[in-house]
Amino acid sequence: MAKRNTYDQDEELEQEFNWAYYKRLGKYLKPYLRRLLVVLGSILLANVAVIMGPYLTKVAIDQAIPNKDMGQLWLIAGIFLVTLIVAFFCMRYRIWAITEIGQDMLKDMRSDIFDHLQTLPFSYFDSRPHGKILIRVVNYINTLSDLLSNGLINLISDLISLIVTLIFMFVIDWKLTLYSMALLPILFIWAWVIKNKQRVAYQILSNKQSNLNAYIHESIAGIKVTQGFAQEKNAEQRFADVSEEYRSTWMHAVKIQFALWPGVQNIAIMTTALIYFVGVNRIGVAVTTGTLIAFIGYINNFWNPVINIGNFYNSLITATAYLERIFETLDEKPEIQDAPDAFALPPIRGDVQFNDVSFKYDQDGPMILHHINFHATPGQSVALVGPTGAGKSTVINLLSRFYNVTDGEILIDGVDISKVTLKSLRQQMGVMLQDTFIFSGTILDNIRYGKLDATEEEVIAAAKVVRADDFIRHLKNGYNTELQERGSTLSAGQRQLIAFARTLLADPRILILDEATAAIDTQTEILLQQGLNALLKGRTSFIIAHRLSTIQNADQIFVIDHGEIVERGNHDSLMADHGAYFDLYDAQYQMLKAL
């Protein structure tokens, strides 16, 4: 599992430069190879057209003009015009097609990372700020956009134009060509020297960017608390600090990135000077004026792509820092995976057995549950009570296999749940967490989340059974009322009723309910209780109860403390025992009386 992380903590950096990432990036290119070949063809054609220019000038200067051959001059002008038109259309196509290919690749990659995130265990999301996950799916992928669209266009067209130019140059004068290339090795060495510095600078930058995103995300999520405690100034200061760190690392990274640029420029200028020097000395001996002028034209054709390739190399090194993070996310193993020989759990009756189950969240963390044993027969209702942090939620997290047990086994209808496919297990289980999550969309959509193919009638019928129908009908647009993400426009009780309807629609044999802790008025409590009773009928249920009044009819009650079941029985027997349950009940009763 990933190490725990916070917004003010940098994520770990990879030490080695890993070319394998580009091989993996190539995998995303594969589906588009054919389209890319067509683009390559058009780039080649455009380059041949452009490259003809200096050659035509040479022919005009060395032959047509001295011979005063107007016919040849017109022909050269005509060919020139055609090359310009061909080049124009080829370039246009190139830009459009490559941008599309680049964006398609990004979309594939974004889908891969998003789909993969869906499979990751809670522990992955527990271990890092959500803002740091978000930034990988959105911003890091976007940083590749330039590389994969513009960068890719330029690289391919520059490589082709470089090769075509070199061929022309070699044909015209191979010696001058070699002089043109004389200073290239210096450039290669320079690029190699700053490569790692640049990558590390961008790794650090990506970290700071991630921290900033995490902080923004966290402060938006916690805005109510910030405003409630009038801590805005504090939040602003913290934001300013994180933001300043981002700015200064950005400046540092850019400084290193631009270290390559003057080197390329200077070498290009020096090469032109060298060609003039060598060329002028050889005019009349081995070089014609036309050849020298053509060569100066080619030198630009030669250095422009080299400069562009240098830039591409720059963005490639920069992107490495982001690619590492993207592939790291893709490589994150779903902790809870189907065993290779996993089989689908057949339709269950709802018999649940914990055999000596112990559990810890972190490998090197403390044991949270110790030797839990119990048996619930089909249709029974089980209530888990106990002080906060005792391990109640952990028990139900294990039952729905959001985590694997550290020791012992959990059996459903006698089948070890670690042996079955997750899908078949979770499909037969309804989990309602404390804070019912509402997705943006209509109420209808939100209830339908329990069974995607449910008809509107089925949705309404389910809502009626759990007593949700009444409040929904009172909303302005009824079932078609649009809800905000998290359901901020609904009350906690209403969100719970929606969760009940959603779960009823899914019709699971085993029900898990983490009762909301929020205080609700008596009337809502009665309503929820009625809804819940309707939902529980005929299902094995596990309820984490915070209000003991709601579980008096439970078949079994377990009192959990420090990860152990310290008492078990039903309400009457536990009350008669005068133990921990009695104390809890009494404390709540006294509290309610005092209100």
Ligand X SMILES: Nc1ncnc2c1ncn2[C@@H]1O[C@H](COP(=O)(O)OP(=O)(O)OP(=O)(O)O)[C@@H](O)[C@H]1O
**Of residues 139, 393, 424, 481, which one binds ligand X by CB under 6 A?**
393
Q: Choose between 140 and 402: whose C-beta lies nearer to ligand X.
A: 402
Stretch of 135-143, 373-381, 382-390, 551-559 lying at the interface with ligand X (CB under 6 A) = 382-390
Which residues, 6 or more positions from 221, have their beta carbon under 8 angstroms from its beta carbon?
A: 130
Backbone φ, ψ for residue 188 (5° rounding):
-60, -45
DSSP 417: G
**Of residues 128, 208, 325, 392, which one binds ligand X by CB under 6 A?**
392
Q: Is residue 564 within 8 Å of 371, Cβ to Cβ?
A: yes
Work out how close the CB of 128 gets to ligand X at its nearest, in angstroms, rounded to a whole number.
12
Candidates 320, 368, 367; CA nearest to 25 is 320
Work out how close the CB of 393 gets to ligand X at its nearest, in angstroms, rounded to a whole number.
3
How distant is the alpha carbon of residue 141 from its chain centre?
8
Is 563 strand, coil or helix?
Answer: coil
Work out how close the CB of 120 gets to ligand X at its nearest, in angstroms, rounded to a whole number.
13
Stretch of 57-65, 85-93, 390-398, 406-414 lying at the interface with ligand X (CB under 6 A) = 390-398
Q: Is residue 53 within 8 Å of 83, Cβ to Cβ?
A: yes
**Of residues 391, 493, 508, 531, which one binds ligand X by CB under 6 A?**
391
For the four alpha carbons of 494, 497, 499 and 505, in that order, the dihedral sign comes to negative
Q: Is residue 172 within 8 Å of 295, Cβ to Cβ?
A: yes
Work out how close the CB of 391 gets to ligand X at its nearest, in angstroms, rounded to a whole number.
4
How many residues bind to ligand X according to rule CB under 6 A?
Answer: 12
Identity of the amino acid at 335: E
Stretch of 251-259, 307-315, 383-391, 418-426 lying at the interface with ligand X (CB under 6 A) = 383-391
Sites for ligand X among residues 349-368 (CB under 6 A):
361-362, 368
Stretch of 48-56, 194-202, 343-351, 384-392 lying at the interface with ligand X (CB under 6 A) = 384-392
Q: Is residue 275 within 8 Å of 299, Cβ to Cβ?
A: yes
Residue 290 touching ligand X (CB under 6 A):
no
Stretch of 56-64, 203-211, 392-400, 497-505 lying at the interface with ligand X (CB under 6 A) = 392-400
Parallel/antiparallel/unpaired status of strands 407-412 and 381-385: unpaired
Work out how close the CB of 511 gets to ligand X at its nearest, in angstroms, rounded to a whole number.
17
Q: Choose between 228 and 366: whose C-beta lies nearer to ligand X.
A: 366
Cα–Cα distance list, 431 to 437, 533, 536 (Å): 11, 16, 12
Report the distance separating Cα 61 and Cα 41, nearest Å. 31
Place of tokens 């389209």: 35
Is residue 165 packed enough to be buried (19+ CB in 10 Å), middle (13-18) or exposed (0-12)?
Answer: buried
- What ranges in 65-140 are assigned the alpha helix state H? 70-119, 122-126, 130-135
Q: Choose between 279 and 386: whose C-beta lies nearer to ligand X.
A: 386
Work out how close the CB of 361 gets to ligand X at its nearest, in angstroms, rounded to a whole number.
3
Work out how close the CB of 443 gets to ligand X at its nearest, in angstroms, rounded to a whole number.
28
Work out how close the CB of 517 gets to ligand X at its nearest, in angstroms, rounded to a whole number.
8
**Of residues 206, 211, 394, 550, which one binds ligand X by CB under 6 A?**
394
**Of residues 8, 12, 126, 521, which one binds ligand X by CB under 6 A?**
126
Q: Is residue 35 within 8 Å of 101, Cβ to Cβ?
A: yes
Q: Choose between 198 and 394: whose C-beta lies nearer to ligand X.
A: 394
Instruction: Return the exposure string of 495-520: e unless at least 16 CB atoms fall within 10 Å of the residue's CB, then b.
Output: bbbbbbbbbbbbebbbbbbbbbeeeb
Binding mask 7-26 for ligand X (x = CB under 6 A): --------------------
Q: Choose between 244 and 362: whose C-beta lies nearer to ligand X.
A: 362
Sites for ligand X among residues 72-101 (CB under 6 A):
none
**Of residues 90, 113, 319, 390, which one binds ligand X by CB under 6 A?**
390
Work out how close the CB of 518 gets to ligand X at its nearest, in angstroms, rounded to a whole number.
13
Candidates 84, 83, 80; CA nearest to 58 is 80
Residue 125 touching ligand X (CB under 6 A):
no
For the four alpha carbons of 166, 168, 173 and 174, in that order, the dihedral sign comes to positive
Work out how close the CB of 2 gets to ligand X at its nearest, in angstroms, rounded to a whole number.
12
Report the distance separating Cα 358 and Cα 272, nearest Å. 75
Work out how close the CB of 397 gets to ligand X at its nearest, in angstroms, rounded to a whole number.
7
What residues are paired with 565 via a beta bridge? 560
Stretch of 36-44, 389-397, 415-423, 571-579 lying at the interface with ligand X (CB under 6 A) = 389-397
**Of residues 142, 389, 473, 477, which one binds ligand X by CB under 6 A?**
389
Q: Choose between 124 and 449: whose C-beta lies nearer to ligand X.
A: 124
Q: Which residues bind ligand X (CB under 6 A)?
A: 126, 361-362, 368, 386, 388-394
